[in-house]
Amino acid sequence: MNAIELKNVSVVYGEGTPFKKIALNNINTCFPQGTVTGIIGHTGSGKSTLASLLNGLLKPTSGEVLLFDKSIWEKPKEMVQIRSQVGLVFQYPEYQLFDETVEADIAFGPRNLKLPQEEIDKRVKLAAEFCGITERDLKRSPFELSGGQKRRAAIAGVLAMQPKVLVLDEPAAGLDPKGREEILGGLIEYKNTYGATLIIISHSMEDVAKYADNILVMNNGEIYMQGAVEEIFLQAERLFDANLDVPQITKLFIELKKRGLCESSDIYTLGYAKKVIEKLLG
């Protein structure tokens, strides 16, 4: 079953003025339930516009956005319901923190859903766990935390609504490798626990290769490529044409293949690469 499906979706900014800009052009795609999709693309390729379509922050100029086979714009008054099911984490979400304690800030989403207090407390605890926030940090002011901890608190604020679909715009940008791994690992854990669907926008091919099942490549407001991770990274040449990249380890194997040292170049994780190299070395 598809968690989200986009049918002939276009977004045009400034229709009828000289500043008209087609941000998204006739997008058709779907995100199957329980999968992780990585969206990659150049700056200005329409990735972030796509993200804000998914929870109804932006209305498409034409076309339909379906959440579990129902159009999200059917009843605009019940958009809160849609937003509680599709969690959206923006780029640099740490700038949205505002409450006195981290705990209260994470509870903001569930509070807006008017859940009973016990349920809110339960969800805050769970969300904090997934994001690796300690009991002590929950009682502190969000403004006392370090950058990475703030990021976690902000992501926990969206997780606490327990969305069925989680869309994240560059969740790990600007973090050190350990921080990246912890945040992305926590998100995967959340996905596995609740059978949720993850959509991650990222510039890091390594992260996408490591965590995603499918990849959607955006270019100039259109879908340039889509498919399973191994299919996409096999077509390295096409990615290079769109000024995109493949993981570094894949690049290494492309070069090895050119020199006739190995047969395949569809290798994109370190673990698998290690095995292949060991096999080749005998």
Partner 1 sequence: MLKDVTFGQYFPGNSLLHKADARFKVLILIEYIVIVLLANSAYAVGLGLLLTAFLMVFSGVKIRLLLKSVKPLIFVLVFTCLINLFLTRGSGAPLVDWSFIKIYKEGVRNAIAMLIRLLSLVLGTSVLISFTTSPLELTDALESLLSPLKKIKVPVHEFAMMMSIALRFIPTLIEETNKIISAQKARCADFDSGNIFKKLKAMVPILIPLFVSAVRRAEELADAMECRCYHGGKGRTKLNVMHAKLRDYIFLLAVTAIIAGVVVLNRYDASFIKNLIKDLVF
The DSSP call for residue 170 is: S
Q: Is 90 in the site for partner 1 (CB under 8 A)?
A: yes
Q: How many CB atoms lie within 10 A of CB 69?
A: 10
Q: Is 41 in the site for partner 1 (CB under 8 A)?
A: no
Measured CA to CA, the distance from residue 80 to residue 85 in angstroms comes to 9
**Among the residue ranges 33-41, 61-69, 79-87, 219-227, the one whose residues contact partner 1 (CB under 8 A):** 79-87
Contacting partner 1 (CB under 8 A), which of 60, 87, 179, 186?
87
Min. distance of Cβ 72 from partner 1 in angstroms?
13
Closer to partner 1 by CB, 26 or 81: give it.
81
Min. distance of Cβ 120 from partner 1 in angstroms?
13
Picking from 230, 37, 238, 245, the residue whose alpha carbon sits closest to that of residue 6 is 37
Q: Is 98 in the site for partner 1 (CB under 8 A)?
A: yes
Closer to partner 1 by CB, 75 or 274: give it.
75
Measured CA to CA, the distance from residue 174 to residue 92 in angstroms comes to 9
**Among the residue ranges 59-67, 86-94, 193-201, 237-245, the one whose residues contact partner 1 (CB under 8 A):** 86-94
Closer to partner 1 by CB, 196 or 209: give it.
196
Contacting partner 1 (CB under 8 A), which of 3, 6, 35, 83?
83
Measured CA to CA, the distance from residue 118 to residue 124 in angstroms comes to 10
Closer to partner 1 by CB, 60 or 247: give it.
60
Measured CA to CA, the distance from residue 73 to residue 253 in angstroms comes to 46
Contacting partner 1 (CB under 8 A), which of 26, 33, 61, 96?
96
Buried b (16+ CB within 10 A) or exposed e, 43-66: eebbbbbbbbbbbbebebeebebb
Q: Which x/- pattern, by CB under 8 A, does the window 105-144 give for partner 1?
A: ---xx--xx-----------------------------x-
- Rounded to the nearest 5 percent, the helix, strand and coil shares of the chain are 45, 25, 30
Q: Is 219 in the site for partner 1 (CB under 8 A)?
A: no
Contacting partner 1 (CB under 8 A), which of 60, 157, 179, 221?
157
Min. distance of Cβ 118 from partner 1 in angstroms?
19
**Among the residue ranges 60-68, 88-96, 177-185, 223-231, the one whose residues contact partner 1 (CB under 8 A):** 88-96
Amino acid letter, 79: M
Strands 222-228 and 62-67: unpaired
How many residues of this chain interact with partner 1, rule: CB under 8 A? 24
Q: Are 226 and 215 in contact (CB under 8 A)?
A: yes
Query: What HEC string does 92-141 produce?
Result: CHHHHCCCCCHHHHHCHHHHHCCCCHHHHHHHHHHHHHHCCCCHHHHCCC
Q: How many CB atoms lie within 10 A of CB 211?
A: 21
Binding site for partner 1 (CB under 8 A): 52, 55, 57, 80, 83-84, 87-90, 93, 95-99, 108-109, 112-113, 143, 157-158, 161
